Amino acid sequence: MGVADGSVLRAGDGMVVTGAAQGIGRAVALRLASQGARLALWDVQPDGLAETAELCRKSGVDVLTAKVDMGEPSDVVAAAKAVGAAWSAPFGFVSNAGIFPRSPILETDPAVWERVLKVNLIGAFLCARYLGPMMVQAKRGAAVMIASGRALQGTPRGAHYAASKAGLVSFTKSLALELAPQGIRVNCVIPGVTETAQPLEDSTLEEVRARGSRIPLGRIGQPEDIAAGVAMLLSADAAYMTGQSIALNGGAIMLP
């Protein structure tokens, strides 16, 4: 068996998906459930989590849910322990939970800046810190981070968000380097504008969809587009890929 074979998701493997109550996280959970993965779904919204879990169970897979605030280390420690108790080791995780409170830099409360960094970036570190040791012990696994095109371009009224997402691109590389000797791969998806609640926080659905006219492929993304990229990164087709970020944005931003 090649080193990379242990980093390919198989039916029955257990995946943690953060921010799974709606949007991209829900689509990722459904996609992985359709492939037979067991799931641990973490989010701050119990109702949305319960709905996602019900939808996933229709694929016949086991689903755990936990109310986890990714900005609270003690929540992540407790949820990671529950995962270890249920499965002995998770195969991996998708760090997807994210917040984007719009705010110009010169008016941003430092506490808001800190909160964004905690949820979006430190949350991913906490997944690695408390799920990673179990993956290393099992000597197999893979992880995917969900960043954002704003990491590449910056954004007005979202410097904290853009910085947190740029941090995820960098964190992906360092984690990939540290875990590669254990046969564990780590990659990152950089979504463009995707039809979920997040862009609707400051625009109407019509305005968000209209952004598709400036995208080479002529439409904004759907959560399933991003879930497909996550599934690809966890699959045998990406067995030789680690530390990379792929942009899924209809061609809106093209990486070198």
Ligand X SMILES: NC(=O)c1ccc[n+]([C@@H]2O[C@H](COP(=O)([O-])OP(=O)(O)OC[C@H]3O[C@@H](n4cnc5c(N)ncnc54)[C@H](O)[C@@H]3O)[C@@H](O)[C@H]2O)c1
Cα–Cα distance between 53 and 64 in angstroms, integer? 8
Pick out residues in 151-210 that bind ligand X (CB under 6 A).
191, 193-194, 196-199
Q: Which parts of 52-71 interact with ligand X (CB under 6 A)?
A: 68-71
Site for ligand X in 226-255 (CB under 6 A): none
Q: How far is CA 242 from the centre of its chain?
A: 15
Tell me: does residue 98 bind ligand X (CB under 6 A): yes
Residues contacting ligand X: total by CB under 6 A: 30
141 binds ligand X (CB under 6 A): no
Question: What is the side-by-side strand order in the sheet with 63-67?
Answer: 63-67, 38-43, 14-18, 92-95, 141-146, 184-191, 245-248
* Closer CB to ligand X, 34 or 45, in the complex: 45
Distance set, CA 73 to CA 6, 18, 53, 179 (Å): 28, 14, 23, 21
Among candidate residues 24, 161, 175, 179, the one labeled active-site is 161
Give the integer Cα–Cα distance in Å for 106 and 247.
Answer: 30
Smallest separation, CB 99 to ligand X (Å): 5
Asked if 161 is an active-site residue, the reply is yes
| Residue that is written with structure tokens 């012990």 in the block | 137
Q: Minimum distance from CB of 33 to ligand X (Å)?
A: 16
Q: Which residues bind ligand X (CB under 6 A)?
A: 18-19, 21-25, 43-45, 48, 68-71, 96-100, 119, 146, 148, 191, 193-194, 196-199
Q: Which residues are catalytic?
A: 161
